[in-house]
């Protein structure tokens, strides 16, 4: 027998410890181990009951995701049969759950006859986040314990609920402080003595109501339609739970398995799996090993309390880190602090935060008008206007204010970190922390390493990202870093498409239908068109060339149409928020085509997607070649978390692998021929296409 399941005897009870570090993934060895141990328990008359627990830090995180797509994942004994084996055992089986019981881990526990969890445990079925449904009876057993409505909410959201909530909903029987083993042993003894076993699949009461009213499933599907747009798995989850309520038990289980098998090999599931692992991979930096010392961040400073500085300040307060925010002008400071308070108040008003939480966060925030107030800060994030001279002046002054060893970070979205670092005598402590707007909401931090940034500075900032509940991606210095640099060609092509025959609403719709939360024009209207205008002016002054350039965006800015904030931009916003087509913009677009002598043509949605996304991917290939991003997965995470690239497509580089690098390359060659050098395929794209390789093979 393998040591994937450790077996001990506690009196007449056989205790099985799932032992597959780090998370007790239910791979083939573990499944076999459970089966064999149950055989042993059944064959041994001296054994009266079984307790299943997890070795190490949790019960089990479910199926071994890295096995998906390999024959091992479906090999016998598969998880559904192990769960049935547990449920049908003649001797009681009790789950002693600590840490996490997720996915197949919870499904294993749901098959047991009793569940004890420790107070700090989280339990749920997060399969939906991997583009699949629970495939080992979760959609059939959970509703039998909680009722259909609660099960639908849990399964379609993937929430890992705390033990107390799980008990309230009915899928945990007992919650105890500390190690649940003792209570589980006691329960096992009680069950063995009573001889009465509650088999979850035999429970009918909780699903009876939905059985009588199958309309609840359509109503629920409608309620999640907006949030789950584009994703297959949430709707498949609903179908599976419906099977629990409308079919006899065994048929419900078979239906669930059929839906699971249909999804597990899908490109959505592969993309979401990729996103799961990529999110963890980005934390690994080859030349900054795991044991690099990390500085403690006990207090923080922020310079500038505008749009970004205010949000960054909130991030520190949300993480419980006292933070001092500095503005040079008292009126600006008051305005900034008021905006922070208003933002918190809005969250309280929506019922998403208590008044006490807001008050305790506000007390962590101190305002100041002199940088001397930052002398004790462990990290200082500069977020003043995007002007190099101003940033240099601030960093020069910080040099004499900040304590030795403090991290000096800049939130610049484009400027050269090396030039900023050179304004100090300690470039090793300087790093970019590029938050995305709104900084208190968006989860991405592009952490930018300069030539001289020390490993300790990098390790500390990557760790800080986690503490702020962000995903930190380490990137190198270039104009726009990874995200905004790749955004350049995407926006550029969107502009050219207007000159050639499209209108903003059509481009936006095609990109929205691809899965982005909004199209490029709606996005620019939200961010403010003046921002891009300033960047384009700087870039054209720094790098004059005679390549094709669309001036429609500039014409729109010249009219003061900066976007939502001015009531109009690429679109009109009569109610301040909802885009409607603008007759003025259409006139400008059509006039521009005429002036350029371009005959407007019908442009398909497919062309829009390819024209906008393939050049973006092409730029990603350049970013990789130059070492600005370490790996394709770093780029994917930047786009998933910073720009709303649809998670079910995995990010731009994974998407390129999905449609085929050669397909992207061939199309780029065609665009190059039609539209000139801006569309020249990147050498790395060409190399991969010609070698029939994927970005994932790098």
Instruction: Identify whether 77 is preceded by a cis peptide bond (ω within 30 of 0).
Output: yes
With H, G, I as helix, E, B as strand and everything else as coil, classify residue 18: strand
Q: Minimum distance from CB of 338 to ligand NAI (Å)?
A: 12
Q: Is 8 a catalytic residue?
A: no
Q: Is 327 a catalytic residue?
A: no
x/- string (CB under 6 A) for ligand CAA, residues 101-140? -xxx--x------------------xx--x---xxx-x--
* 137 vs 336 by CB, closer to ligand NAI: 336
* 66 vs 354 by CB, closer to ligand CAA: 66
Q: Which does 130 bind (CB under 5 to 8 A by kind): ligand NAI, ligand CAA, none?
A: ligand CAA
* Residue 340 contacts ligand CAA per CB under 6 A: no
- Radius of gyration for the chain, computed over Cα atoms and rounded to the nearest angstrom: 28
x/- string (CB under 6 A) for ligand CAA, residues 630-649? --------------------
Reading the block at residue 365, the tokens are 């925030």
* 25 vs 488 by CB, closer to ligand CAA: 25
In whole angstroms, give the CA distance from residue 200 to residue 591: 69
Residue 676 neighbours by CB distance under 10 Å: 11
Choice among 36, 67, 87, 127 that is catalytic: 127
CA quadruple 525, 527, 529, 530: dihedral, nearest 10? 150
Q: Measuring CA to CA, which residue among 244, 265, 262, 266 is closest to residue 253?
A: 244
In whole angstroms, give the CA distance from residue 484 to residue 467: 25
Q: Minimum distance from CB of 476 to ligand NAI (Å)?
A: 17
Residue 460 neighbours by CB distance under 10 Å: 24
Q: Measuring CA to CA, which residue among 608, 540, 545 is closest to residue 553?
A: 540
* Residue 64 contacts ligand CAA per CB under 6 A: yes
Q: Which does 333 bind (CB under 5 to 8 A by kind): ligand NAI, ligand CAA, none?
A: none
Q: Minimum distance from CB of 410 to ligand NAI (Å)?
A: 7
Reported as type and span, the H/E element at residue 360 is helix 355-363
CA distances from 242 to 76, 166, 596 (A): 27, 21, 58
Question: Strand 300-303 relative to strand 323-326: parallel, antiparallel, unpaired?
Answer: parallel
Show contacts with ligand CAA in window 5-34 (CB under 6 A).
Answer: 22-23, 25
Choice among 42, 67, 87, 107 that is catalytic: 107
Q: Minimum distance from CB of 490 to ligand NAI (Å)?
A: 17
Q: Minimum distance from CB of 413 to ligand NAI (Å)?
A: 4
Q: Which does 303 bind (CB under 5 to 8 A by kind): ligand CAA, ligand NAI, none?
A: ligand NAI
Reported as type and span, the H/E element at residue 150 is helix 148-157
* Residue 256 contacts ligand CAA per CB under 6 A: no
Helices 661-675, 605-625: axis angle to 10 degrees equals: 100
The alpha carbon dihedral of 97, 102, 108, 109 has a sign of positive
Q: Which residues pair with 431 in a beta bridge?
A: 409, 449
Q: Which does 305 bind (CB under 5 to 8 A by kind): ligand NAI, ligand CAA, none?
A: ligand NAI
What does the binding site for ligand NAI look like in residue numbers (CB under 6 A)?
303-309, 326-328, 332, 336, 383-386, 390, 394, 411-413, 434-435, 437, 527
Helices 483-500, 583-596: axis angle to 10 degrees equals: 80
Q: Minimum distance from CB of 22 to ligand CAA (Å)?
A: 5
Q: Which does 41 bind (CB under 5 to 8 A by kind): ligand CAA, ligand NAI, none?
A: none
Burial class for 22, CB neighbours closer than 10 Å (0-12, 13-18, 19+):
exposed
Query: Of 56-64, 192-200, 622-630, 654-662, which part binds ligand CAA (CB under 6 A)?
Result: 56-64
Q: Minimum distance from CB of 364 to ligand NAI (Å)?
A: 20
In whole angstroms, give the CA distance from residue 611 to residue 490: 8
* Residue 483 contacts ligand CAA per CB under 6 A: no
- Residue 338's contacts (CB-CB under 8 Å, 6 or more residues apart) are none
Which listed residue (41, 79, 101, 423) binds ligand CAA by CB under 6 A? 79
Residues forming contacts to ligand CAA in the complex (CB under 6 A) are 22-23, 25, 61-66, 79, 100, 102-104, 107, 126-127, 130, 134-136, 138, 277, 280
Q: Which residues are catalytic?
A: 107, 127
């Amino acid at each position: 027998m393998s040591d994937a399941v450790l077996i001990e005897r506690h009196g007449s009870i056989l205790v099985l410890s799932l032992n597959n570090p780090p998370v007790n993934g239910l791979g083939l060895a573990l499944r076999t181990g459970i089966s064999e141990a149950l055989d042993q328990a059944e064959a041994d008359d001296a054994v009266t009951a079984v307790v299943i627990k997890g070795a190490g830090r949790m019960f089990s995180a479910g199926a071994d995701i890295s096995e998906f797509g390999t024959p091992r994942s479906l090999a016998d004994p598969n998880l559904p049969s192990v769960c049935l084996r547990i449920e049908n055992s003649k001797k009681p089986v009790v789950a002693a759950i600590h840490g996490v019981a997720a996915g197949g881990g919870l499904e294993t526990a749901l098959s047991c006859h009793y569940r004890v969890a420790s107070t700090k445990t989280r339990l749920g079925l997060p399969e939906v986040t991997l583009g699949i449904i629970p495939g080992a009876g979760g959609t059939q057993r959970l509703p039998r314990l909680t009722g259909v409505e609660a099960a639908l909410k849990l399964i379609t959201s993937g929430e890992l609920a705390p033990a107390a909530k799980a008990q309230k909903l009915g899928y945990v029987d007992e919650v105890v402080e500390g190690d649940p083993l003792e209570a589980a042993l006691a329960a096992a003894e009680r069950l063995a003595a009573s001889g009465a076993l509650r088999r979850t699949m035999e429970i009918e009461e909780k699903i009876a109501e939905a059985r009588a009213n199958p309309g609840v499933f359509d109503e629920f599907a409608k309620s999640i339609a907006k949030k789950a747009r584009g994703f297959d798995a949430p709707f498949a989850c609903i179908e599976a739970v419906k099977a629990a309520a409308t079919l006899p038990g065994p048929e419900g289980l078979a239906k669930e398995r059929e839906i699971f098998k249909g999804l597990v090999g899908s490109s959505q599931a592969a993309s979401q799996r990729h996103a799961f692992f990529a999110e963890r991979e980005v934390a690994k930096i080859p030349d900054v090993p795991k044991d690099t010392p990390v500085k403690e961040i006990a207090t923080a400073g922020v310079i500038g309390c505008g749009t970004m500085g205010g949000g960054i300040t909130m991030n520190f307060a949300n993480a419980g880190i006292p933070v001092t925010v500095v503005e040079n002008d008292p009126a600006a400071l008051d305005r900034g602090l008021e905006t922070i308070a208003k933002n918190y108040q809005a969250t309280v008003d929506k019922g998403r935060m208590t008044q006490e939480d807001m008050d305790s966060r506000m007390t962590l925030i101190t305002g100041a008008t002199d940088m001397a107030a930052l002398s004790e800060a462990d990290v200082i994030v500069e977020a003043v206007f995007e002007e190099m001279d101003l940033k240099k002046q601030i960093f020069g002054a910080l040099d004499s204010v900040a304590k030795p060893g403090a991290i000096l970070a800049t939130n610049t979205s484009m400027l050269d970190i090396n030039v900023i670092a050179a304004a100090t005598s300690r470039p090793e402590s300087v790093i970019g922390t590029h938050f995305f707007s709104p900084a208190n909401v968006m989860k991405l931090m592009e952490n930018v390493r300069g030539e001289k940034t020390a490993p300790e500075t990098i390790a500390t900032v990557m760790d800080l990202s986690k503490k702020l509940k962000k995903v930190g991606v380490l990137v190198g210095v270039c104009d726009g870093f990874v995200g905004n640099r790749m955004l350049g060609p995407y926006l550029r092509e969107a502009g050219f498409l207007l000159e050639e025959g499209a209108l903003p609403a059509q481009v936006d719709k095609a990109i929205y239908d691809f899965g982005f939360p909004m199209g490029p024009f709606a996005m620019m209207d939200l961010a403010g068109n003046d921002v891009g205008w300033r960047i384009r002016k700087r870039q054209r002054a720094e790098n004059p060339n005679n390549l094709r350039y669309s001036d429609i965006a500039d014409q729109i800015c010249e009219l003061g149409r900066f976007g939502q904030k001015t009531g109009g931009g690429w679109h009109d916003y009569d109610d301040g928020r909802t885009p409607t087509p603008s007759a003025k913009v259409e006139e400008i677009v059509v006039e521009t085509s005429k002036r350029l002598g371009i005959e407007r043509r019908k442009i398909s949605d497919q062309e829009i997607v390819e024209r906008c996304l393939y050049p973006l991917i092409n730029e990603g290939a350049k970013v990789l070649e130059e070492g600005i991003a370490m790996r394709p997965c770093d780029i994917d995470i930047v786009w998933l978390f910073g720009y709303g690239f649809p998670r079910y497509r995995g990010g731009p580089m994974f998407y390129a692998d999905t449609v085929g690098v050669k397909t992207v390359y061939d199309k780029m060659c065609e665009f190059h021929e039609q539209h000139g050098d801006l569309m020249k395929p990147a050498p790395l794209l060409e190399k991969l296409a010609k070698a029939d390789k994927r970005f994932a093979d790098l």
